[in-house]
Amino acid sequence: MPTSLATLESWVDEVASRTRPEQVTWCDGSDDEYSQLVRQMLQSGDLSELNQDTYPNCYLHLSDPSDVARVEHLTFVCTDNADDAGPNNNWLSPADGHERIDALFDGCMQGRTMYVIPYCMGPIDSPYSRCGVEITDSPYVVVNMKLMTRMGAAALQRIEREGKFVKGLHSTGDLDPEKRLIMHFPDELSIKSIGSGYGGNALLGKKCHALRIASYQARAEGWLAEHMLIVGVENPQGETHYIACALPSACGKTNLAMLIPPASMPGWKIWTLGDDIAWLHLDDAGQLRAINPESGYFGVVPGTNEATNKNAYDMIRHDAIFTNVARTADNEPWWENKGVGEPVTDWQGRPYDKANGKAAHPNSRFTVAAGNNPSYSKLAEAPAGVPISAIVFGGRRKELAPLVYQARNWRHGVLVGAGVASETTSANIGEVGVVRRDPMAMKPFCGYNFADYWAHWLSFAGRTETLPGVFHVNWFRQDENGRFLWPGFGENLRVLKWILDRCNGRAEAVETAIGYLPRVEDLDIDGLDINRSDLETLTSINARQWQVEIEAIGEYLASYGDRLPAELRDELQIVADKLAHGSVNTADS
């Protein structure tokens, strides 16, 4: 066996004897290995070639139609005590969890190759990085892991040096939704997932390791694992400040992470560090720093076009894997709002027919290496990460939430994060468009009790004098006809500019009950085509609606019982009192 680490070797043997693969392959992460697996999948039909003249090295994978998104209802955190997983997770005892899922793994790899994938989440030389090994019977998973993580020989060397790694066992099984389960055993640093080939369920380095297991470890070790993009904003003076921003699934992280400044903001530049996950640590000087544990993007395809996200549009023109998009007559990938071309076959490979719904699945995805992104930051490889000036939370809210506001202080900021709610999206199997609580955009991803998680967030205030400012944004306000009030995408830079100016004491705001809001004149709207009344709506709050919201947040927080930190309850009371006693800038009528 090609490892000197006995615990790794014995685990691989143990898995092989349960799953009974035809052969075992250790992945070295080389380009040759990637090409060879692609050739093999073209032969088996797992992948098909897209137009190699216009989309060189791009391939299409069509999933089983039942297997196109995460499955929160089938995802479990297995801890000794149910309370440690919390009301925010499905729970089983570790013994019951293993028993239930192991039965499905018995003999599941017969006739298949079992791949062993050593990977490193984070720059290979960073002290903040963590390693894992994923065992899978899916070549699609191997090639996606190659694009998304630092995988192969270098990761194996680090694992052998450290002797410690997260064990992830995955099989596509028979894709029967009744036999699909994703289990986490944080005390054992292990993950078991069966019955799905979809990204978040199958690429175990991503949500399973880098969020659920990592958040559990981060609490014990004093850091944070978050569902956040990391972006560098360079102003015309050449100074770059970094922002970490948590938005729920399919709510704009990839787009914000690589936005292109509007023509009317010359001299501004955006540098992408990460588009989905951030690991945040306080350094010795008390500065919060972030690394992106991933090295690729698994992004939402629909809506990507030259106007909304040209960086993404360009980076998926070569060396990309498309999952569940449609195709044109000239064999190019097609999706809703691509802006060019027409579909001839849909995401299920059928002749396109409007009566069957969308041509591309709403949760169709691209996978590309981060290096494909024209705005990829050099500091994305820096072992020490980047210093974070602002933390931004947000959600998808037709109503209520203004374009942007700032929390009064860290403790209030934790309440703002805990109070995030957002309309559900097709990133999870289930109903779309219903508002649900999604604290810190981590509802599906926090590997332990949210009450303990908020206490952990609060504890940072006692550890340093220099925490980032905390903000909330909403790009998705609509009028009664469903029209977006804010143009979004590149224009979101105007909001980032106000946020950074606030952090540097260079922008004005008014204090309201919910925090500091910009007045229209505090935002840089030079060259922006938007009417004044929309701007006024976006920068004001309705006190009565907010009273209802604060009450709803109170009820939600109360569902965490005695474990809820008293500080959060106190902060909520402060906001409730301010709303009750009236405050400036409430566009109440």
So which residues are the catalytic ones? 251
Does 206 sit near ligand SPV (CB under 6 A)? Answer: yes
Q: Which does 206 bind (CB under 5 to 8 A by kind): ligand SPV, ligand GTP, Mn ion, none?
A: ligand SPV
- Look at strands 386-394 and 181-185 and give their pairing: unpaired
d(CA 583, CA 513): 6
Nearer to ligand GTP, 152 or 199 (CB): 199
479 Cβ contact partners less than 8 Å away, ≥ 6 residues apart: 485, 534
d(CA 192, CA 126): 27
- Number of neighbours of residue 35 by Cβ within 10 angstroms: 12
Q: Which of 72, 137, 276, 336 binds ligand SPV (CB under 6 A)?
A: 276
DSSP 135-150: EES-HHHHHHHHHHSE
In this structure, what are the phi and psi dihedrals at residue 501, rounded to the nearest 5 degrees? -65, -35
Residue 199 interacting entry, from ligand GTP, Mn ion, ligand SPV, none, C-beta within 5 to 8 Å by type: ligand SPV
Shortest reach from residue 573's CB to ligand SPV, in Å: 33
Q: With binding defined as CB under 6 A, does residue 170 bind ligand SPV?
A: no
Cβ atoms 428, 478 nearer than 8 A: no
Among 223, 271, 279, 298, binds ligand SPV (CB under 6 A): 298
Chain-centre distance of CA 79, in angstroms? 24
Q: Which is nearer to Mn ion, 149 or 540 (CB)?
A: 149
165: phi > 0 → left, psi -120 to 50 → alpha, else beta; which? beta
Q: Which of 184, 207, 361, 408 binds ligand SPV (CB under 6 A)?
A: 207
Q: What is the total count of residues that contact ligand SPV (CB under 6 A)?
A: 9
Q: Which stretch binds Mn ion (CB under 5 A): 20-28, 65-73, 124-132, 247-255?
A: 247-255
**Considering CB distances under 5 to 8 angstroms, the limit depending on partner class, which of ligand GTP, ligand SPV, Mn ion, none binds residue 303?**
ligand GTP
Q: What are phi and psi of 251, to 5 degrees?
A: -120, 15
Lay out the site mask for ligand SPV across 506-525 (x = CB under 6 A, - = otherwise).
--------------------
State which of positions 45-74 bind ligand SPV (CB under 6 A): 70
Shortest Cβ distance from residue 524 to ligand GTP (Å)?
17
CA distances from 322 to 59, 177, 236, 266, 550 (A): 6, 23, 36, 33, 41
Site for ligand GTP in 461-490 (CB under 6 A): 475-476, 484, 488-489
Q: Which of these segments, 181-189, 272-280, 447-455, 521-529, binds Mn ion (CB under 5 A)?
A: 272-280
Distances in Å between the Cα of 286 and the Cα atoms of 280, 491, 500 are 12, 33, 19
Using DSSP bridges, classify how beta strands 181-185 and 75-77 pair: parallel, antiparallel or unpaired: parallel
| Residue 29 CA: distances (Å) to CA of 38, 43, 203, 286, 583 | 13, 21, 15, 36, 58
Residue 145 CB, nearest approach to ligand SPV (Å): 12
| DSSP helix/strand/coil, 110 | coil
Stretch in the footprint of ligand GTP (CB under 6 A) among 150-158, 168-176, 244-252, 536-544: 244-252
Q: At what angle do helices 543-558 and 410-418 cross, to 10 degrees?
A: 80
Closest CA to 21 of 129, 162, 172: 172
From residue 261 to residue 300, the character string flagging contacts with ligand GTP as x (rule: CB under 6 A) and all else as - is: --------------xx----------------------xx
Place of tokens 């309309």: 423
Interface with Mn ion by CB under 5 A: which range of 271-279, 363-371, 544-552, 562-570?
A: 271-279
What would you measure as the largest C-alpha separation in the chain, in angstroms? 73
Does position 260 interact with ligand GTP (CB under 6 A)? The reply is no
Residue number with CB closer to ligand GTP (84 or 276): 276
Which one of the spans 30-38, 189-197, 200-208, 475-483 is the region binding ligand SPV (CB under 6 A)?
Answer: 200-208
| HSE (side-chain half, CA atoms, 13 Å) at 278 | 34
Nearer to ligand SPV, 227 or 241 (CB): 227
**Which of ligand GTP, Mn ion, ligand SPV, none does 70 bind, CB closer than 5 to 8 A by kind?**
ligand SPV
Shortest Cβ 227–ligand GTP spacing (Å): 7
- Nearest CA to 254 out of 367, 383, 416 is that of 367
Query: How far, in Å, CA of 90 to CA of 69, rounded?
Result: 18
For position 443 contacting ligand GTP by CB under 6 A, the verdict is no
Interacting residue ranges for ligand SPV, rule: CB under 6 A: 70, 199-200, 206-207, 249, 276, 298, 427
Interacting residue ranges for ligand GTP, rule: CB under 6 A: 247, 249-255, 275-276, 299-300, 302-303, 308, 427, 475-476, 484, 488-489, 492
Interacting residue ranges for Mn ion, rule: CB under 5 A: 249, 276
